[in-house]
Structure 1
């Protein structure tokens, strides 16, 4: 399947049986402002672009935003509930109302705001269900994702956080796992949050 637009991405995910099963499992938790985001979404898009078998992901990132309970114990309980539903998947649940502290950033205002602060533009993406329809979010548009271009988000362009971005690129080895993945020549050109 050729993908050139956000609509193409949404249609691909709407047809993907596994994605539907995962989204419905998370929806049953009835969390506020929830999304499956980052690596699972990115890997699916890149696998389809390169017409390759599904790449195993380290975890399935589920985020939500709830200022009324920011305890890590609640996230662990939610992971356990997902593991009861679908035990063959590596769930990771994080309430974004507390995760800003991980990278010493100001508090996030929502899950979308949190995704916009993720290290890479191609990771600042997510899926959710609204009225049983797949909703796709990309904080910086789909160009980097579809062109398999790596660059930091604005939050990771400053020297201290840029080191975190560089370390992640080395650890994740996306360039080795997907033939078309490459770093942007000028990593910071033209980034605007949508």
Structure 2
């Protein structure tokens, strides 16, 4: 099933010219372990599964991992660079090598490790365009919840943060077929 979901994910994104252009823009930064995640992927798949056109995003969540660029100013500089390339998008850049400090966790090993601490399993998916033009993805909790329209906390999530996001995001209003889980379930694959 994972192989089929993998093919589905890369196919759905590859068929979206806007997403490909956005991925090319981020690839041009040439950052280590760099991805676009969260709503960029999650919302696209939920729209697709509901037969909807891709809806506008609040922001584009760019993540990367670089232990030598730990200042928030580095992230802001990268946001300015992205804005100079495509000012129509609201770019949010976060170096996952420093996010453990904000979140009170042990240091993360890489972006995939950091994503295992994100609030929802369906949000913990990120994609990038490699130098050969192929879509790659990371999903520490797998793709099943994303494609099965299940909203569940990751095993490492703070349940209060998860519950607050459920309330503030009101996803069920947009995507009526979502199945909302109130608590922890199966652990992430890794």
| TM-score normalised by L of structure 2 | 0.93
Give unpaired runs (5+ residues) of structure 1.
none
Relative to structure 2, which stretch is displaced further, 98-107 or 64-73? 98-107
Tell me the SS of whatever aligns to 1:124. coil
| TM-score normalised by L of structure 1 | 0.91
Contact 2:36 2:63 in 1 (8 A): yes
Q: Is 1:192 the equivalent of 2:188?
A: yes
The match for 1:167 among 164, 170, 173 is 164
Tell me the SS of whatever aligns to 2:97. coil
Deviations 1:66-102 (A, max 9, x none): 0011111110110011111111111100011101122
Contact 1:116 1:193 in 2 (8 A): no
Contact 1:125 1:136 in 2 (8 A): yes
Structure 1 segment 44-83 matched on structure 2, within 5 A? 44-83=44-83
Name the residue aligned to 1:110: 110
Name the residue aligned to 1:145: 146
The match for 1:182 among 162, 179, 183 is 179
Shift of 1:45: 0.6
Shift of 1:143: 1.2
Tell me the SS of whatever aligns to 1:62. strand
Measure, in 2, the Cα distance between the counterparts of 1:92 and 1:189.
29
Contact 1:34 1:128 in 2 (8 A): yes
Measure, in 1, the Cα distance between the counterparts of 2:181 and 2:22.
32
What CA RMSD, in Å, does the superposition of the two structures yield over aligned residues?
1.3
- The alignment covers a number of residue pairs equal to 186
Measure, in 1, the Cα distance between the counterparts of 2:112 and 2:84.
27
Tell me the SS of whatever aligns to 1:43. helix
Tell me the SS of whatever aligns to 2:137. strand
Measure, in 2, the Cα distance between the counterparts of 1:137 and 1:97.
16
